[in-house]
Structure 1
Amino acid sequence: MPLRHLTPRDQHLFWQYGRGADVPVHEPLVHRAIERHAIVTPHAVAAEHHGATLTYGELDRYAGALAARLVREGVRPGDRVGLFARRSIPMLVGLFAVLKAGAAYVLQDIGRTPPAQLADVIRTARTRVILTQKEHVPRVPLPLPGGHRLIALDDPAPYDPGPVPLLPPHPDDGCCVLFVPGTAGRRHGVQLTHRNITNLLLTEPGGLGIRPGDRVAQLLGIASGPAVWEILGCLTRGATLAVRGTDTDTGTAARAATVLIATPAVLAGIDPAGCPDLRTVAVTGEPCPRPLADRWSRRTALLHCRGPAEATLATTVGRRTPAAGRPLPNGTVYVLGADRRALPVGETGEVWVGGDPVSAGYLGEEALNAQRYAPDPFLGEGRVMFRTRDLGRWTPDGDLEHLGRPAGRLGPPGERPLLRLAGERTAGTVTVTR
């Protein structure tokens, strides 16, 4: 019994505070949730950018034809496809097409990412196909590895229809790959599965109450984790994605939005008085300063979302303070101390995450996976938990208080702690599979 060292009261609170609600997810595949809106409301606007619009019917039709092209090129469930583009409607078509083909998309902003970094993404993700826009083809690092194909998103040819059967992926297959910072400038590819993403987006509060007729602003860097939340959170719920016009123009898209996902830095540059229709704001990426949080919470529902990409972008979501929140549905959050033993309420330890939010691990990083992922002794049944390396503690009223990653206590991404928690031992090798 992994909790036998705790008092009966703390054993009860371990589960009461640390376990999110058990909520069924009605659609375990991301693209199927989007396709439903194309069937029910084909003329509803899925996205708008620079005055151009794309309906759900058009998005489904264009992406279906491109998905057939990808399948003819050999793309199969479990594969990864590079999507090197700028924020645009063709980018959205490419993203949806990759999912329809059963593969995971690897999105990079080709206008901002250096060619050497793109080449590293290709190697790490072991992509089969690269999708881009014609004007950006010269920025794709050439020569591509053997067997690769380069397809222009805005070339009419990819949209030629063809009777190609599309093989459905499994919910535990990859949906997208996010590259997160590591040590010495190195980046690690984190694979999020369909199960990870649908658990966040199709339950509450991660769904942010988005519904048809809403407008969700797409403001953040398209290769970032929160951009997954913006884009797929909008499209899986049948709303309209208002894509930011330029890299510096956040205000225009935000002013007409009803739902906004933003980092504190982006939020600080927007006047809440100029967003009359805004209903919900999710602040993510880093703690929101209290004055900024107070400024926005007076006008809208403000959600504080804390968590890394490896735990599907949000470990906890809270309303009351920027530093506290509660686990999302179908997920667990543990505060562990020495030897990964559960700590009583009020004691500070490392925050671990379990359940459906736990990602499928780092691509090609077995040693790092062994450090950061471990068998979950609390859920059992072959489940895996993820070590955030952040410190936290449970408050008496059941919020997880996030205490950050103090310098001198925990090292940078990919490293063991500089000072171990008392009694901690090195983990054995863990193979992360979903």
Structure 2
Amino acid sequence: MPLRHLTPRDQHLFWRYGRGPGAPVHEPLVHRAVGRHAIVHPHAVAAEHHGATLTYGELDRYALAAHLVRAGVRPGDHVGLFTRRSVPMPVGLLAVLEAGAAYVPQDIGRTPPGRLRHVVRTARTRVVLTQKELAPRIPLPDGHRLIALDDPVPYQRVTPILLPHPDDGCHVLFAAGRPEGVKATHRNVTNLLLTEPGGLGTRPGDRVAQLLDLASGLAAWEILGCLAGGATLVIRGADLAAAARSATVLIATPAVLSGIDPADCPRLRTVAVAGEPGLPRPLADRWARRAALFDCRGPAVGAVVNTMARHDPAAVRPAACRPVADTTVYVLDADRRPLPVGERGEVWAGGACVPAGHVGGDASNTGRYAPDPFLGEGHTMVRTGALGRWNADGGLDHLGRADGHRTEPPASRPRTGGGRPRQAAGPPAAATYADTAPCS
């Protein structure tokens, strides 16, 4: 019994604080969730950029996925999506998923050739999608194939050789400067996007700003969350604030949020903040007076976030940050035993947020995954690399990284707060809570 050393009270709180609610996911494959809107709302705008638009019906009619299948793309493959922000970008992303593969995004305007070569080699992307005009900038080894997103191809309904499974890869994300990628599954992604609060209430008629680096987990939340909800993806140009001004849903880092005036966003309904180790209270209060603001935390890549809390600007203390649906969060000692409420330890996560594993890397990544003794056989938990403690409000206090970099708040600041068995390979060191916004 992994909890027998705890008092009955702490055994009860271990599950009360550390387990998110159970929630059904109506469609465990991302592209099928998007495809439903092509049937129900074919004329609704799926994406817009610099005056160009793409409807859900047009997105569904693109034949690029069939082209990928004919090119040999199979479930389990990784396909590079090396592009700039544009309307063809979501076309390529959905095509890869429809072909049964996982997309590997890089913004070719920001990524140097050496980094692109590393991603191609590490992720083994035999096929890379890009725009025709960008093709000369992509260094491809012999035997690899480049396919233009904007080349017309005859319409043909895609028929993958093998039907994708919810535990198949959805994307492989390489955090800036990190040698490894983290592979998230469809189950990881839909569990956040198609349940609340992770879905952010996104629905047809909404406008979701696409502001962030295409290779980041938060960009995956922007893009896939928007399309799975049937909303319009407002793809930014050079003026980041212009895209935000027309949005009803915004996902941002604290740094991005601080450069936008909430008074300029009259339609805004929901804001999610993550991606950096701190959300200043004055910034949170300012935006929460305009819209529902969620303070989020989770691995920098992979499943994006696994704890969220809605911020109340009138509250004395920030809201308790709780696990999202079908996700667990544990505070453990060096022997991986749960600690009582109030005691400091390492933060581990389990349930639907655990990604499929890392791509590339070295032996330093081993030990990041372990069997989850709390959820039982067939389940895995992941070491986040963070230190934390549960507080009496049921929230998780973030106390810095396990490498010794502390971010514990000063004393004057109030503190608050399944799938298939996976191989015991670790995610990259980048996937730490220290890379994301705290909820305490």
TM-score (norm 1): 0.90
* 1:324-346 per-position Cα deviation (integer Å, ceiling 9, x unaligned): 51001001000001301100011
> Counterpart of 2:437?
none
Deviation at 1:20, TM superposition (A): 0.5
Equivalent residues in 2 for 1:79-158 (5 A)? 79-142=77-140, 144-146=141-143, 148-156=144-152
Number of positions where the alignment pairs a residue of Structure 1 with one of Structure 2: 404
Aligned to 2:35: 35
* 1:86 alignment partner AA: R
Pick from 311, 329, 335 the counterpart of residue 331 of structure 2: 335
Match of 1:20 in 2: 20
Deviation at 1:407, TM superposition (A): 6.0
Identify the residue that residue 66 of structure 1 maps to in structure 2.
64
Distance between the aligned counterparts of 1:24 and 1:390, measured in 2?
29
User: Deviation per CA, 1:261-293, whole angstroms, max 9, x where unpaired?
Assistant: 000111001100111110110001012111111
Instruction: From the superposition, tell whether residues 50 and 36 of structure 1 become closer, same or farther in structure 2 (CA, over 3 Å).
Output: same
Give the conservation status (yes or no) of the 8 Å contact 1:331–1:356: yes
CA distance in 2, matches of 1:53, 1:340: 51
Partner of 2:213: 221
Shift of 1:365: 4.1
SS of 1:123's partner is helix
State which of 343, 346, 349 in structure 1 corresponds to 2:342.
Answer: 346
1:253 counterpart residue number = 243
Q: Which amino acid aligns with 2:78?
A: R
In 2: Cα distance, 1:399 partner to 1:408 partner: 22
Superposition deviation, residue 294 in structure 1? 1.2
- CA change 1:315–1:291 in 2 (3 A) is same
**Secondary structure class of the residue paired with 1:339:** coil
TM-aligned CA deviation for residue 74 of structure 1: 0.5
CA contact (8 A) 1:80 1:104 kept: yes
Kindly indicate whether the alpha-carbon contact (under 8 Å) linking 2:358 and 2:425 is maintained by their aligned counterparts in 1: no
1:4 aligns with 2:10: no
Amino acid of the residue matched to residue 81 of structure 1?
V
C-alpha distance in 2 between matches for 1:311 and 1:114: 23
CA deviation vs aligned residue, 1:163-214 (integer Å, no higher than 9, x gap): 6523421100000011125xxx542110000000000100001000111110
In the alignment, which of 286, 289, 294 is matched to residue 298 of structure 1? 289
Match of 1:426 in 2: none
Structure 1 residue 149, shift from structure 2 partner: 1.1
**Matched letter for residue 288 of structure 1:** L
The more displaced of 397-406 and 385-394 is: 397-406
Change (3 A) 1:322 1:310: farther
- For 1:173, the equivalent position in structure 2 comes to 168
Matches within 5 A, 1:249-328: 249-286=239-276, 287-310=278-301, 312-320=303-311, 324-328=320-324
Note the C-alpha offset of 1:311.
Answer: 5.5
Assess, with a 3 A threshold, how the Cα gap between structure 1 residues 285 and 186 changes in structure 2: closer, same or farther: closer
Kindly state the Cα deviation for residue 138 of structure 1 after the two structures are TM-superposed.
1.3
What secondary structure sits across from 2:268 in the alignment?
coil
The one-character-per-residue Cα deviations of 1:202-240 (angstroms, maximum 9, x if unpaired) are: 000100011111010111111111000000000001001
Other-structure match for 1:421:
none
Cα shift at 1:430? 2.1
Relative to structure 1, is the Cα distance of residues 375 and 99 closer, same or farther in structure 2, using a 3 angstrom cutoff? same
Residue 154 of structure 2: aligned partner: 160
Alignment root-mean-square deviation, CA: 1.8
SS of equivalent to 1:344? coil
> CA offset at residue 68 of structure 1?
0.4
Percent identity between the two aligned chains: 72
Pick closer, same or farther for the CA change 1:322–1:365 going to 2, 3 Å: farther
Q: 1:54 corresponds to which residue?
A: 54
- Shift of the 50–76 alpha-carbon distance from structure 1 to 2, 3 Å rule, reads same
Q: Secondary structure at the match of 1:84?
A: strand
1:349-368 residue pairs with structure 2 within 5 A? Answer: 349-365=345-361, 367-368=363-364
1:303–1:319 CA contact under 8 A, matched in 2: yes
CA contact (8 A) 1:263 1:285 kept: yes
Q: What do the CA deviations read for 1:81-124 (whole angstroms, capped 9, x no partner)? A: 00100000111111110011010000100111011100100011
Shift of 1:135: 1.1
Distance 1:80 1:139 in 2: 20
DSSP 3-state at the match of 1:362: strand
Measured against aligned partners, the alpha-carbon deviations of 1:337-377 in whole angstroms (never above 9, x if no partner) come to 13011000111111100001100110144734532111111
**Alignment partner, residue 233 of structure 1:** 225
**In the alignment, what sits opposite 1:417?**
none
1:399 CA displacement:
1.1
8 Å contact kept, 1:361–1:369:
no
CA 1:81–1:186: 2 relative to 1, 3 Å: same
Higher helix share: 1
Q: Distance in 1 between matches of 2:352 and 2:262?
A: 34
Contact (CA 8 Å) 2:342, 2:392: kept in 1 or not? Answer: yes
Distance in 2, Cα, partners of 1:186 & 1:41: 40
Say if 1:129 and 1:149, in contact at 8 Å, map to a contact too: yes
Shift of 1:322: 6.4
Partner of 2:419: none
Q: What is the alpha-carbon distance in structure 1 between the residues aligned to residue 237 and residue 361 of structure 2?
A: 37
Alpha carbons of 1:209 and 1:406: their partners in 2 closer, same or farther (altered >3 Å)? same
The C-alpha deviation readout for 1:387-421, integer Å capped at 9, x for no partner, is 111111111121112222276369xxxxxxxxxxx
